[in-house]
Structure 1
């Protein structure tokens, strides 16, 4: 099946080019109000439970979601061998290529973003690419245990309208720590009570993971409809 062809998957549509360029489309039943290119995190593929559920929830809210894989993850799919992420320059190169192709194929607003690392890479390119919006789910403000070494310099200058949905107890960016960062006015932070890096709350919070995923999807869809 060549790029641009589609088959049903997860209640939406799946574009399945051969080899490392495989994409997964999850589209709403009616016309999409926006398209979101959603990149995976460092350790899980584009069809992980989190990525699949979020794509389905967003499609149900009128957002078309395209998922793709960075080269190291696509290679793991072929031989089963775990690999570390590609160097940042390669990750950004992949993002540029995917965005350029989607822009040629899609009419209407195109947002970029992703889970954890995928969202961080998108944030480094959002202004350069001229994306209509940026959406990050569980942003890695710093590496685990390294809150004293934040990776936020570019976030202070970001011009692209940005939504970051973050768990309050995220080990890569908790609410108290992030509150001290000088972030751009273009960034909207939406905090989920007691949520971790996967937006999963503690039981004592009174919220379920499903509720937080639904709330995140509501927030993203609302943000992209503006």
Structure 2
């Protein structure tokens, strides 16, 4: 395990897992009460607009944000491995995430949200933040992944774009979770130029939902 601290206080840590080395980028809160660990999706990394927005906003509300890069991204691969391997990578990073001694919220966007849902109970997560949960493949509503979301066993918040082809908010089943819609947002929370809200307002909706929900967890 290695780490490196930048001038802004952001720390990058390499963590060995059974799936290969993963990388955690820490955005610390001055007086942290929670850690929010967020994994990326299968088609991108921690530079996703919603993840960077959370890393900028939540530390000011007492939540340290840990952006987690799965081993396949660290290795420079273009295609994500099978879900089982993603879960292995996430499990391997967990001891580093709990090292500060704070409750850890398991989070992620898209495929990362699925990982967080599948492993939350076994890892003892304080909650799950599911960004752009891929309820089904685009155009294939019969291929539902709702069981993963419904089975987290911990407080869960879904933040979903109103126009997400992987599952619009109205498609989600009733269940023991909260759901916040980001109007006009697609799977990456991008909004059309003609939309009634701006891109900045869409991301503000994402961060506001996370701030309110994490405050309710302690």
CA distance in 2, matches of 1:117, 1:40: 7
| Correspondence for 1:102 | 97
Alignment of structure 1 residues 150-161 onto 2, 5 Å: 150-161=144-155
Greater alpha carbon shift after TM alignment, 151-160 vs 141-150: 151-160
Quote the residue 1:22 is aligned against. Answer: 23
1:135-214 aligned within 5 A: 135-178=129-172, 181-183=173-175, 185=176, 187-214=177-204
Q: Is 1:8 matched up with 2:6?
A: yes
The alignment covers a number of residue pairs equal to: 212
User: Does the Cα contact within 8 Å between 2:36 and 2:106 map onto a contact in 1?
Assistant: yes
- SS class of match (1:17): strand
Give the strand-richer structure, 1 or 2. Answer: 2
2:207 equivalent in structure 1: 217
Deviation (angstroms), 1:58: 2.0
SS of equivalent residue, structure 2 residue 137: coil
The answer as to 2:57 corresponding to 1:60 is no
Residues 112 and 18 from structure 1, CA distance in 2 versus in 1: closer, same or farther, beyond 3 angstroms? closer
> Where do 4+ consecutive residues of structure 1 move more than 6 Å?
none
RMSD: 2.0
Aligned equivalents of 2:148 and 2:67: distance in 1? 24
1:96 Cα offset (Å) = 0.9
In 1: Cα distance, 2:49 partner to 2:151 partner: 33
Distance 2:111 2:92 in 1: 17
* CA distance in structure 2 between the partners assigned to 1:200 and 1:32 by the alignment: 30
> Which runs of structure 2 are paired with 1:103-142 in the superposition (5 Å)?
103=98, 105-142=99-136
**Could you list the runs of 5+ residues in structure 2 that have no partner in the other structure?**
none
Unaligned 5+ segments in structure 1 are none
TM-score normalised to structure 2 length: 0.88
1:200/1:208 contact within 8 Å kept: no
